[in-house]
Structure 1
């Protein structure tokens, strides 16, 4: 899933942070009554193809349209949406794309094709809200506090200073709590918008499923709670609530790289990191060196990793395992985002993971890097 905003210290950028499925092309040439009309002018886009693509992580089929700018760089799109949705615009041969909220209203796009990041989108109330919330989410002060707490912990750990380590952990917890409070306030302020619904993704990925559930329940008393996006989050939250910390991880089985069926229960008696990833997921590949280090550190201390891939190309999957030196158990049904285990576990973004104790009970979710190492070290002592 890609998210619309930056969570200050977690840097959960919609555009670059998480991978999502490619949209299915569905031309939208006509503009039925009540639809949208995009009128655009982009300098340096003369006679170039312009691509308009829906990027709604909660849809399996998404709209896509293409047109050609005239000699003056003018272009237009027409169509109709069931609800406000997130789109991207790209110019053939130019760096991009740029993302914005589109709804059924007259919209204008102006700027320069050589700097799509700076284009102006006017006419969409949801896009206006998105821009406001984007600014609110980018709180560098909180981000800097989090970085200082992390550095404090790293330095304390290097000299085995337990008191300083605990102080750093406390600082980090305070920053996380402050960030959660701030994000909830933003969602409450814009709770009747598609943008507000989208920010629930930040709470979920910070582990506050209960907070997201409470806010979504309020939204469901209004029309915004009946949208596809809100329904998607309701389904995800309900699944994740059954997979809260302290609950037993449901059994599953899939085929490994050699064609053998491997069950989750076969790892009982060990701490297991159930890791969801894919070869095409940039953030997953970036995290893999950290997982390799974690595995090497704890593999002889009753710990292992069990990876579930959301790939749909077997060779790409195998090549990534080999290239990234991932020497633990791997399974996949090669159904991509429709992976049976991913759906069973409510996985809508990768990387994602659950840490299980030797009985199969969930003890942590979505820990990475130092956070994962700290938790494992705490458990095996």
Structure 2
């Protein structure tokens, strides 16, 4: 029997450790089976791990090196032989989980403080990767970005032209043209974990408010965002009706507010925009599940939104008429929801989150996972 497993981080355990435990425990019960593990990530923060995207990248590019980046801290990786880079801004720059020394409240940044800080460092990272020979860069953005300057710092640094909210349409058009020139030799693939609940940049401020920002700050931010988006739309319009004209990016798209508007800016510059769960299988996995008889998706938590990666796996399982099973540390998937999602099995390591501290501790996750995988092998294994 062949089992295809999508292994993602659980609290305290990286995707590689999760995959190793799953394979070991399943084969201990059914040594004749073939367990094929692919490392994945839903692109969100997992306790004591991060997003796990660095592990996914290294599994595909084992010769890659990490480029240490501080002020702000972020994860940048590059494989010189493959000419592929990866920048994960969600790992350290997600709002409001980012620590700020001058605004600490109980160890974490005060939710009432709006995101602030320049995004210029992202342009520096991309420019350095291109100078090192990168032909493709995978950039992962958080849904809510700690350094949300609406991409002004990024555009100014990348283009070499000063730009800001007071710039004219012609000024910004020149900036966008210069920035595109810098990216001509490199493909930028932008991923994100999920759509904003209110689509487009107009939903950005409301998403911040829903996450805990002071409503007055959110209202002020919404005014700035409205002016910025109107300026960007006008500047990005290509007046030349030629075959080389770029398609207009819809500012109301569900992804445009992601990364504090950086997703929209990068789309205007020609980057591809993808759900991370849909992107990883094509970018990092070899083909090999064509004969799988069981599909298992392991991830930390699932809230109200279903990860794109889970939908991808379920669709693949349906193509092969194979059962699909979900295993999480904790989720809000009810029994009726599981069938609607196309799941044939649904397991949780914890019955509910936030009960006994010793049960929720990451220290116990490996043992809990091992016991659950043994149960899976007994239930779903057949000859």
Normalised by the size of structure 2, how large is the TM-score?
A: 0.26
Higher relative contact order (CA 8 A, sep 6+): 2
**TM superposition score normalised by structure 1:** 0.26
